Amino acid sequence: MYKILANTIFLGKDVHFLPECHSTNDTALSMVRRNVAMEGSVVICGHQTHGKGQRGNHWKSQPGQNLTFSLVLRPDFMDISEQFYLNMTVSNSIRRLLHDYVPNLEVKWPNDLIVPGFGKIGGILIENTFSGKKWEYAVVGIGLNINQQVFESPTAASIRSITGSHFGLEELFRLLISQLEQGYIQLKKGRWNEIRAEYMMHLYRMNTWATYAANDKQFAGKIVGITADGKLEMELKDGEKASFGLKEVVFL
């Protein structure tokens, strides 16, 4: 199951499948620290018991129903200040593949995958290791709800719950790793304007007035862009602009 991939250049040439694990990101980070993982290594788990999400949340997944895996990358060709481009690249690559199954899939800043009207079907958590100002490794954790049909959260969904079809996990994994590699090569080639444009084109609530909360206060805002360091840029009702970091704003 989940064998070494033949259709890629470097991603998926070193695949570690675990029937069950605490967190694929934790496992991959441990392998990096022990020098037993290289760029392109993949850790994939059949049942992730304590998957990590943004804001300290947990990613809950039923055994054998979804895709939960982590990639080891070494984006040392980028400056630390440019790291959000990796987030955008990964988000774009996943959305590009899943668009064939759920065409209205959008990216919710910074890197959740949602289908408006149905819910969240995936999330990305990137954990970086640095040495001074040099980027050593990035461990990219990806969780995608594929065949699960019962969820604890009312805001969660899966490709199957949306389409009614069952999907082969190994085939989707193979296609997804190939798409992620193509996106990463695009990043290496410096096609950053294309990456940013694609991300913005499919950004949830882009140029739409909606309600948010910050500092325990609700407000109306319209997403108008992303700053160079990955902050969410909004226009407020009074015409002023404000930018928010990851833990500074909540979507309502």
| Average pLDDT rounded to a whole number, residues 193-198 | 96
Average model confidence (pLDDT) for the chain? 92
Residues 171 and 80 in one domain: yes
Tell me, what's the pLDDT at 60?
Answer: 67
Q: 194 lies in a domain?
A: yes
CATH (domain of 173): 3.30.930.10
| pLDDT computed for residue 164 by the predictor | 96
pTM reported for the whole predicted model: 0.94
Residue with tokens 């470097």: 10
Please report whether residue 38 resides in a domain. yes
Q: Does residue 133 form part of some domain?
A: yes
Is 162 found in the same domain as 79?
yes
Residues 170, 232 within the same domain = no
SS (H, E, C) 33-55: HCCCCCCCEEEEEEEECCEECHH
- Whether residue 3 lies inside any domain: the answer is no
4 assigned to some structural domain: no
**53, 142: one domain:** yes
- Residue 56 pLDDT > 60: no
Residue 51 has pLDDT above 70, yes or no: no
Backbone angles phi, psi at 20, to 5 degrees: -150, 145
The tens digit of pLDDT for each residue in 153-189 reads: 899 999 999 999 999 999 999 999 999 999 999 999 9
Say what the pLDDT of residue 63 is. Answer: 85
Q: Assess whether 44 and 168 both reside in one domain.
A: yes
Mean pLDDT of 236-244: 93
Q: What is the pLDDT of residue 25?
A: 95
Residue 3's pLDDT is 80
pLDDT at 54 over 60: no
Question: Are both 159 and 226 inside the same structural domain?
Answer: no
- Whether residues 26 and 118 share a domain: the answer is yes
Count of domains observed in the chain? 2
Domain assignment of residue 246, yes or no: yes
What does the pLDDT average to over 73-85?
93
pLDDT of residue 148: 95
Question: Does residue 45 share a domain with residue 122?
Answer: yes
195's tokens: 């990456």
pLDDT at 57: 56
pLDDT (average), residues 49-57: 60
| CA–CA separation, 31 and 29 (whole Å) | 5
Name the packing angle between helices 192-201 and 84-98 (round to 10°). 60
What confidence score (pLDDT) does residue 49 get?
82
222 and 130 housed in the same domain: no
pLDDT tens digits, 18-35: 999 989 999 999 999 999
Residue 103 reports pLDDT greater than 70: yes
Residues 189, 217 share a domain: no
Q: Is 6 a domain residue?
A: no
Asked, for residue 214, whether it belongs to a domain, the answer is yes
Question: Is residue 244 located within the same domain as residue 133?
Answer: no
The pLDDT of residue 245 is above 80: yes
Instruction: Please report, for the domain that includes residue 217, its CATH number.
Output: 2.30.30.100
Contacts 24+ apart (CB under 8 A), 165-170: 165/101, 167/101, 169/64, 169/66, 169/67, 170/1, 170/2
What average pLDDT does this structure show over 225-247? 93
pLDDT at 44 over 90: yes
The residue range of the domain holding 240 is 209-251
Most confident region among 37-51, 58-72, 145-159 by mean pLDDT: 145-159
238/180 same-domain check: no
Confidence of residue 53 (pLDDT cuts 50, 70, 90): low
